[in-house]
Amino acid sequence: MEIDAFDALDPVYLVGLDTDDRVVSCVRLLQTNGPHMLADVFSDILQGQPPLRAPDLWESTRFCVDTERLDAQARGPGSVARATSELMSATLDYARRCGISDIVTVIDPIMNRVLKRSDNAPCGYVGDTVQMGKTKALAALLDCTQERIARVREFAGITGDVFVDETALRARLVTAHPTANAYPSLTRDQLQQYCLEQLGAAQSLRDLAAAIELANAVLPAGQQARQSAATDPARRSRIMME
């Protein structure tokens, strides 16, 4: 798992599945009223302009499709993977249902061409195209209108709802993987030993705080472990020095 600071800001993730319920795509949506990547990471694109901020303008990032999992039959017209169009359609549809009027997204020229080929061309751009490492980056605007959604769906031949029923999905997963949720039962002694191991392995004050929180949450004895670790001057001093 890979996360960044923006994942702590309660974003929305949309996840695409293939016919075998394997994850093949995802995208992240984050409101622009607070910190977001265009404002705080890719601000060079803005060329000194203030970042766009509005409750109905959200940022799309981490748009990715696992092309290695997709075979030739999963490809749509114009060499654009069907999973790509489905994720685009789902993103726009979800945003529209939630009252989001526009999406801003930082893309490279290749993704800009993909958007255009899939009849999802940006309705505008923000700032300039700038060099970012080995590639160039630009910020595109997409209006979340029913017309745009219809164009993307028609391009890829998408019919029906792209969203899966969560209850039905869980039932399918349990049927296909009956042992997926069969976690072994742990004794209280085993839980306590695990918590003590986490306390002993802490390499920073943040690690130590997390281990204390875990112990306090799962064990009545966790309170004793928390007090012991928190009041051990030598241990706190060693961690701070490291």
- What is the Cα–Cα distance from 119 to 123, expressed in whole angstroms? 11
Domain edges within the chain: 5-176, 188-241
Residue with structure tokens 């031949």?
157
Alpha helix ranges (H) inside 52-145:
82-97, 109-117
Q: Answer yes or no: CATH 3.40.630.30 is held by domain 5-176.
A: yes
Residue 136: its H or E element = strand 135-143
Closest CA to 103 of 140, 142, 139: 142
Dump pLDDT digits (tens) for 83-106: 899 999 999 999 999 999 999 999
- What is the Cα–Cα distance from 118 to 156, expressed in whole angstroms? 8
- What is the Cα–Cα distance from 123 to 74, expressed in whole angstroms? 28
- What is the Cα–Cα distance from 215 to 83, expressed in whole angstroms? 42
Q: Given this model, what pLDDT does residue 116 score?
A: 95
- What is the Cα–Cα distance from 85 to 75, expressed in whole angstroms? 10
| End-to-end Cα spacing for the chain | 26
Per-residue pLDDT tens digits of the chain, which is 242 residues long: 678 899 989 899 999 988 888 888 999 999 999 999 999 999 999 999 999 999 999 999 999 998 887 764 455 554 578 889 999 999 999 999 999 999 999 999 999 999 999 999 999 999 999 999 889 999 999 999 999 999 999 999 999 899 988 888 888 877 776 665 555 566 777 778 888 888 888 888 878 888 888 777 767 654 444 445 444 555 555 555 55
